[in-house]
Amino acid sequence: MSTTVILFSILAIAAIATGVSVIINKNPVASAMSLILHFFALAGLYLTLNAQFLAAIQILVYAGAIMVLVVFVVMLLNLGKESALTERFNPRTGIAVSMGVLLIAQLAIAFFGQPTGYNQLSDKAALNGTAESIGTVLFTEYLFPFEAISLLLLVAIVGSILLAKKQQKESV
Amino acid sequence: MIDSYIPLIIMVSVGFLFGLSNIVLAQFLGPRKNKTKVKLEPYECGIEPTTSARERFSIKFYMTAMLFILFDIEIVFMYPWAIQFKELGMVGFIAMNLFMILLFAGFIYVIKKGALQWR
Amino acid sequence: MLQTIPLEFYLILSAIMFMLGVIGVIVRRNAIVIFMSIEMMLNAVNLTLVSFSQFMGDSAGQIFVFFVMAVAAAEAAVGLAIVLALFRKKQTVYVDEVNVLKW
């Protein structure tokens, strides 16, 4: 067993366990903490794929920024245990889970019945995962989407301020 | 390849185990007190706590955190650009300037709207 | 014994994570947990993109993941602002109590 196989097994189990924990925890803060661990497990999986730059960005953006905002909102709305406990599970849960398991079984049969033939990382994988390679491709081939992202961020800034800021009438 | 991350993995696991062992060992090594309701209160004598400590946060914190995310993304896009700055030359410089100008317009909007004012 | 992980393992793992996200969106009532499940689904797709990119030696997939992360951040800011606005209007974050469009 090579290091990669051991790492993949541990990280895959961690990712699935924390993912389950996100959806079954009744306390939203506990869900958020599990989701942070889930993102760390994913960053580790990116490392097993030799995508070092994306692993760093994953921790920086998801665990460092997005989850901070989510935890802030949970605190802001003050969803203590009392209100969280009223969340009830109904028959939809059973149907959703069984359909999901069925889908996974189908996918597993489809994937393993007809293997893709990709059994190891490509020779260029180590090179493609570095920040240098991503920088070169991003600023030559994908320059226009990059500029479009700046517009998206501008719209997100304006939109979220409009939504979150108190109306003038309310505050006065 | 992946073996070069072994020092990193060791460091992370040592950090994790240190935090975990502190919590677990404290249970065994720490002094055992009788945990009655009075003992567990913040002040054993003095002012009695009236409400829960889980107060609602102010919206001011949210505004700052939200703007942090959006400008964090801007910085994330600057990393690969900064590494390849010389190779990309003038085209990359102009592209990044355009990107920065658009986000700076957003920043001016934030300031004008008073979203960062602490009140 | 396996020496390297084939592509199928990553795809199945990603499918399981996506399924967990879908179940979370269907089953939960708390808007914030639904939002977190959506983030999980985005991450599952990211894993697929990265693994295809690294197994086939084409870095386009990783650039896509980069853009998906930027979109997820914008989505987080706007989506949580919507949750806040909703809470301010209806005093709830449970999606089944928000039924003004129903009649």
Task: Report the pLDDT value the prediction gives residue A171, as an integer from 0 to 100.
Answer: 46
Task: Report the pLDDT value the prediction gives residue A167, as an integer from 0 to 100.
Answer: 59
Please state the rounded mean pLDDT for residues C58-62.
Answer: 89
Confirm whether B50 is domain-assigned.
no
Residue ranges making up the domain that contains C60: 29-97
Please state the rounded mean pLDDT for residues C38-48.
Answer: 94
Task: Report the pLDDT value the prediction gives residue A172, as an integer from 0 to 100.
Answer: 38
Task: Report the pLDDT value the prediction gives residue A104, as an integer from 0 to 100.
Answer: 85
- The 10s digit of each residue's pLDDT in B48-86 is 777 766 666 677 778 888 888 888 888 889 989 999 888
Which of A73, A149, A161 lies nearest to residue B113, judging by beta carbons?
A: A161
Gap between the Cα atoms of A149 and A133, Å rounded: 20
CATH number, domain containing residue C44: 1.10.287.3510
CB-based contact (8 Å) between A168 and chain B? no
CB-based contact (8 Å) between C80 and chain A? yes
Task: Report the pLDDT value the prediction gives residue A82, as an integer from 0 to 100.
Answer: 47
* Average predicted confidence (pLDDT) for chain A: 83
| pLDDT higher than 60, residue C14 | yes
B96 and B81 in contact (C-beta within 8 Å)? yes
ipTM reported for the complex, 2 dp? 0.91
Nearest to C41 by CA among A60, B69, A19, A98: A19
Q: Chain A contacts of B76, Cβ < 8 Å? A: 57, 60-61
Confirm whether B119 is domain-assigned.
no
Task: Report the pLDDT value the prediction gives residue A46, as an integer from 0 to 100.
Answer: 92
Tell me which residues of chain A have a pLDDT lower than 50: 82, 84-85, 170-172
Residue ranges making up the domain that contains B10: 2-44+55-113
Confirm whether C84 is domain-assigned.
yes
CATH number corresponding to A3-87+124-171: 1.20.120.1200
Nearest CA in chain C to B2: C4
Gap between the Cα atoms of A43 and A47, Å rounded: 6
Percent of chain C with pLDDT over 70: 97
Task: Report the pLDDT value the prediction gives residue C50, as an integer from 0 to 100.
Answer: 93
Number of domains in chain C: 1
Touching subunits of C (3+ CB pairs, under 8 Å) are A, B
Task: Report the pLDDT value the prediction gives residue A75, as an integer from 0 to 100.
Answer: 79
Confirm whether C103 is domain-assigned.
no
Quote the pTM value.
Answer: 0.85
Please state the rounded mean pLDDT for residues C79-96.
Answer: 83
* Distance of residue B71 Cα from the nearest chain C Cα, in angstroms: 10
Buried b (16+ CB within 10 A) or exposed e, A102-133: eebeebeeebeeeeeebeebbebbbebbbbeb
Task: Report the pLDDT value the prediction gives residue A152, as an integer from 0 to 100.
Answer: 92
Task: Report the pLDDT value the prediction gives residue A28, as an integer from 0 to 100.
Answer: 84
Residue positions counted in chain A: 172
Task: Report the pLDDT value the prediction gives residue B108, as an integer from 0 to 100.
Answer: 92
Nearest to A32 by CA among C35, B99, B54: C35
Please state the rounded mean pLDDT for residues C59-83.
Answer: 90
Please state the rounded mean pLDDT for residues B20-40.
Answer: 80
Q: Which of A161, A163, A172 to mutate to test the interface with B (most CBs of B within 10 A)?
A: A161
A157 and C76 in contact (C-beta within 8 Å)? no
Touching subunits of A (3+ CB pairs, under 8 Å) are B, C
Torsion angle defined by CA atoms of residues B28, B32, B37 and B41, in that order, rounded to the nearest 10 degrees: -80
Task: Report the pLDDT value the prediction gives residue B54, as an integer from 0 to 100.
Answer: 62
- C73 and B72 within 8 Å at the Cβ level: the answer is yes
- A164 and B54 within 8 Å at the Cβ level: the answer is no
